[in-house]
Amino acid sequence: MTWVNAIVQGILLGGLYALFACGLSLMFGVMRIVNLAHGDLAVLAAFLAYSVMSATPLGAFWAVVVVVPVFAAFGYGLQRGLFQRSLAISPLSTLLVTFGLSVVIQNLLLQIYSADTRALDIGSLVSEGLRINANISLSYLALITFGLAIVVIVALQVFLSRSRTGRIMRAASDDQEAATLVGADSRHVYAVATAIAFATVALAGLMFAMRSSFDPSMGPSRLIFAFEAVVIGGLGSLWGTLLGGMVLGLAQTLGAQLDPTLLLLSGHIIFLAVLAFRPQGLIPARRLA
């Protein structure tokens, strides 16, 4: 029965990983940008929420409502102001810029908040859950996170396939110049994509911070999980990212069931196995959506 619990927990954990990964997947799919600061942005969002909750009487829910749009705006500005310039130079330059951004964010957080771990206080919700039987219990927080991941990925999918902006985003990722020829301002289109990606990573960071404590140096390990989820699922497919997240989560919890020290290693082994035997990922898609 504990194995069943491990499977259930793995799937729910996968929701969190998928939420982390979809912003990474979107930025790569639309603009071919690998955002090495992705994990640090999640941590930044968590600290921002922490400050909001400390300075105001707002609870965690309202902190999410505040931080996610702020991050979307931040993403829009960063794309127009920073990434757009580096994109014009070369693909490698943007990679280096995001690497630099990662270093800056970590040190800024260290400077402002010190290395102490923090947590977002959500009261008793953190330990409440649905007791299925003696072995299986579903934490409300994990369920909410999983639900949010599904909603976000479905919404993104619908946005990309049905909406006017989503369609032009897919077009711009196919052929940027041809997209300009139909009247798209590629700077704006890309900035919208980045804004969406930043909003999702902020949400992921906040959901993570509610279940676990965080500190300024946790960014890179979050990035690794997001990266692995994207690669396992298949580059360029949002459904793949969801699946990849769940596979990673499952690998980790099942490995931990065997031996608690195997948690991280099992995830990495599955990632390497996918790279070795099916490098295009589980749901390969040539393009986004």
Partner 1 sequence: MTLLELDGLTVRHGQLAAVTGVSLAVREGETLAIIGANGAGKTTLLRSIAGVLRSSSGLIRYDGEDVTRMPTHRRVAAGIALVPEGRRLFPSLTVAENLATGTYRKRPGPWSMDRIFAIFPWMADRRQQSAATLSGGEQQAVAIGRALASNPRLLLLDELSLGLAPIVVRGLYTTLPQILAEGTTVLLVEQDVSQALRVAVRCVACAAGTRCSTVDRPT
> Is the CB of 115 or the CB of 181 nearer to partner 1?
181
Q: Which stretch binds partner 1 (CB under 8 A): 31-39, 49-57, 141-149, 179-187?
A: 179-187
Q: Residues 45, 206: contact at Cβ < 8 Å?
A: yes
Q: Residues 10, 254: contact at Cβ < 8 Å?
A: yes
Decide: is 181 part of the binding site for partner 1 (CB under 8 A): yes
> Is the CB of 41 or the CB of 184 nearer to partner 1?
184
From 171, 262, 263, 282, residue interacting with partner 1 (rule: CB under 8 A): 171
CB of 254 to partner 1, least distance (A): 35
Decide: is 206 part of the binding site for partner 1 (CB under 8 A): no
Angle at alpha carbon of residue 206, lines to 203 and 207, rounded to 5°: 85
CB of 289 to partner 1, least distance (A): 8
Q: Which stretch binds partner 1 (CB under 8 A): 12-20, 66-74, 100-108, 164-172?
A: 164-172
Decide: is 184 part of the binding site for partner 1 (CB under 8 A): yes
CA distances from 254 to 133, 134, 147, 226 (A): 19, 19, 22, 19
CB of 160 to partner 1, least distance (A): 10
DSSP state of 118: B
Decide: is 287 part of the binding site for partner 1 (CB under 8 A): yes
Decide: is 174 part of the binding site for partner 1 (CB under 8 A): yes
Number of H helices, E strands in the chain: 12, 2
What is the spatial distance between Cα 61 and Cα 65, in angstroms, rounded to a whole number? 6
CB of 89 to partner 1, least distance (A): 17
Residue 68's Cβ-side half-sphere holds a number of Cα atoms within 13 Å equal to 18
Decide: is 168 part of the binding site for partner 1 (CB under 8 A): yes
Decide: is 93 part of the binding site for partner 1 (CB under 8 A): no
From 124, 164, 261, 276, residue interacting with partner 1 (rule: CB under 8 A): 164
- The total of other beta-carbon atoms located within 10 Å of residue 161's CB is 13
Decide: is 89 part of the binding site for partner 1 (CB under 8 A): no
Q: Which stretch binds partner 1 (CB under 8 A): 71-79, 90-98, 105-113, 162-170?
A: 162-170
Burial grade of 18 (CB within 10 A; 0-12, 13-18, 19 or more): buried
> Is the CB of 174 or the CB of 259 nearer to partner 1?
174
What is the spatial distance between Cα 214 and Cα 77, in angstroms, rounded to a whole number? 26
Decide: is 180 part of the binding site for partner 1 (CB under 8 A): yes
What residues between 185 and 204 interact with partner 1 by CB under 8 A? 185
Smallest CA-to-CA distance from 188 within 79, 26, 44, 274 is with 79
What is the spatial distance between Cα 98 and Cα 227, in angstroms, rounded to a whole number? 14
Q: Would you tell me which residues interact with partner 1 (CB under 8 A)?
A: 164, 167-168, 170-171, 173-175, 177-185, 286-288
